[in-house]
Amino acid sequence: MYLTLYHWVEMRAKMRMMGFRGAAIKPMNEEAAAELGAELLGEATVFLIGGACLIAEYSRQSTNSRRKEDEMEARLNSMEAEIARLGLLSEELDARARAAERQQLAK
C-alpha cells in the first residue's frame, strides 16, 4: 500500500514536471513494487548509516575539542600557580636582600 502511494506521488510529480496534466497512472505490479521496496530499503539503510557516521564523527570531534580545552585550562592553572609561587619567592628574596643590606649597614 505504501509503495503504491509512493509510486503514485512520484509518477504524478514526474508527469507534472514534464507538462502532462491529468494523465492516468497505472498501478504497479507486484514485482515492480517489490523492486521499488528493496530499492527504498537500501537507500534508507545507506542514509541511516551515513547519518550515524556523521553523528559519531561529530561526537568524536567534540570530545577531542573538550579534552584539549581541559588540558589547556589545566596548563594555564599550573602556570598561574607557578607564577604566584615565583612571586612569593621573589618577595622573600627581596626581603632577605634588604635584611642583609641593613645588617651590613649596621656593622
The reported pLDDT for the residue numbered 84 is 98
The reported pLDDT for the residue numbered 12 is 84
pLDDT digits (tens, 9 = 90+) for 9-57: 888 888 888 887 777 778 888 888 888 889 999 999 999 999 999 999 9
Cα distance between residue 86 and residue 92, in whole Å: 10
**Residue 3 buriedness (CB in 10 A; 0-12 / 13-18 / 19+):** middle
Cα distance between residue 23 and residue 13, in whole Å: 11
Task: Look at residue 6 and tell me whether its pLDDT is greater than 70.
Answer: yes
Return the axis-axis angle of helices 2-18 and 30-106, rounded to nearest 10°: 90
Q: Which residue has the higher pLDDT, 33 or 58?
A: 58
The reported pLDDT for the residue numbered 88 is 98
Task: Look at residue 1 and tell me whether its pLDDT is greater than 70.
Answer: no
Whether 8 contacts 26, CB under 8 Å: no
